[in-house]
Amino acid sequence: MEKKELLTVKGLEVVFESRFNQIDVLKGVDFSLKENETVGLVGVNGSGKSTFALSLMGLLPRNAKIVNGSININGSDMIINEFEKDSYNRKRHRILVNEGIEKLRGRFITMVTQEAASYLDPLLTVGYQIFESVLFHNKERLIKRIDSREKVDKGALLNYVKLLNSKDYKIADKFLDGNFDEYIREQILNITRRDDLTDEDKKNLILALGRAKLSSVQRFVLSHKGVASRIPGLRYILNQLILEEGYQLAGEILGLMGLDPTILHMFPNQLSGGMLQAVLIASAIVNNPRIIIMDEPASSLDPIAQYKLFNLLSKIKATFNLSLILVAHDISLLTRFADRIAVIEDGAIVEVGDTSSVINNSSNEYTKRLIKSVINI
């Protein structure tokens, strides 16, 4: 079956404006990304890779302007052409970014920006920085996760574990969908999908979801959030509960990635570059996006850490059914991990194709130079 296209870009042109001049940075970029696909975007410094990535996110800097083209994300046009008449009755063409991108950004499509690791806050734990976006944009999800454990039907949990025992996973999946709310389901799935736990451990953890108990004060503040948030002592209890749930969620994500959850309470300076990249990936997937753009995730890592990072990306891609755009200037990194490679030169895609055919049979001079530059090293 033909895979669905999640992202289609046609003829994208972006300029940077200053008071005195205008630089054409993207000169008509065509690009596409299908469901569950990894596309590598490769080009030398200054070829426009980051500008392209930021345009997809609707995050171009103020002095940048889209002057032509279309960006379609999951069926919606992100660029709106507006034609209006000015006071001299001349037709004017304006290009606007669809405000709908706000709803998709961070949820449907998300990005780990270049040098993002250096923007991690040194005074906040990495765990906090993984769930921070949920705390600010979807606090309700954390509350509902706590609530879902309070209300979960323990008999149903037991039945589900029995179905897992019988190894009839189709029936188990059906049971999971039919008997639990979205929030407890998320927690159960985060346990069952882990590959570092034995089946026995998984079952115990699932059953433990039904035993998590709140104190009566905690239950009160959760069910009377409005009141509680106006009374200092209770507000503290409410905030503490929500924070703990954030750490719980961040720990689940790390578990899925096969990483040690003890790093949750560490600070960025205590982690290696590779681990910091992993933390950034965790913070990108915490909201269940479908597309992740990684802008030069590996450029500051040594070869072994690079390799580990890309393996980790392949793993989470499979677990979360993600599509990835991997931006790199080193084409060799992409050969093992990308399904397709797009080569960008001076603001235009000069070649795109299946990874093996780009690496082995390219007739494009620029692509050949990129490949040669790696082999020569």
Ligand X SMILES: Nc1ncnc2c1ncn2[C@@H]1O[C@H](COP(=O)(O)OP(=O)(O)OP(=O)(O)O)[C@@H](O)[C@H]1O
Regarding 51 and contact with Mg ion (CB under 5 A), the answer is no
Residue closest to Mg ion (Cβ): 50
How far is 8 from 74, CA to CA, in rounded Å?
Answer: 9
- In angstroms, the Cα distances linking 269 to 59, 127, 246 are 28, 13, 21
Q: Is 33 helix (H, G, I), strand (E, B) or coil?
A: strand
Question: What does DSSP assign to residue 352?
Answer: E
Report the amino acid identity of residue 161.
V
Question: What does DSSP assign to residue 198?
Answer: -
- 173-180 contact pairs (CB < 8 A, 24+): 179/153, 180/148, 180/152, 180/153, 180/156
Binding string to ligand X for residues 160 to 189, with x set by CB under 6 A, is what? ------------------------------
Minimum separation from the CB atom of position 326 to Mg ion (A):
13
Regarding 22 and contact with ligand X (CB under 6 A), the answer is no
- Which CB atom, from 25 or from 250, has the smaller least distance to ligand X? 25
Regarding 198 and contact with ligand X (CB under 6 A), the answer is no
- Of the residues 79, 329, 334, 362, which one makes contact with ligand X according to CB under 6 A: 329
- Determine how many CB atoms are found less than 10 A away from the CB of residue 270: 12
Regarding 58 and contact with ligand X (CB under 6 A), the answer is no
How far is 106 from 290, CA to CA, in rounded Å?
Answer: 10
Regarding 55 and contact with ligand X (CB under 6 A), the answer is no
Alpha-carbon Rg for the chain in angstroms: 24
Locus of tokens 């082995």: 360
Query: Could you tell me which stretch among 18-26, 46-54, 165-173, 330-338 binds Mg ion (CB under 5 A)?
Result: 46-54
Binding string to ligand X for residues 86 to 115, with x set by CB under 6 A, is what? ----------------------------x-
- Which CB atom, from 67 or from 237, has the smaller least distance to ligand X? 67
Query: Could you tell me which stretch among 40-48, 146-154, 200-208, 216-224 binds ligand X (CB under 6 A)?
Result: 40-48
- Of the residues 50, 148, 190, 248, which one makes contact with ligand X according to CB under 6 A: 50
95 burial (CB, 10 Å; 0-12 / 13-18 / 19+) is middle
Minimum separation from the CB atom of position 295 to ligand X (A):
7
Q: Which residues pair with 113 in a beta bridge?
A: none
Which residues would be at the binding site for ligand X (CB under 6 A)?
A: 16, 23, 25, 43, 45-51, 61, 63, 114, 329
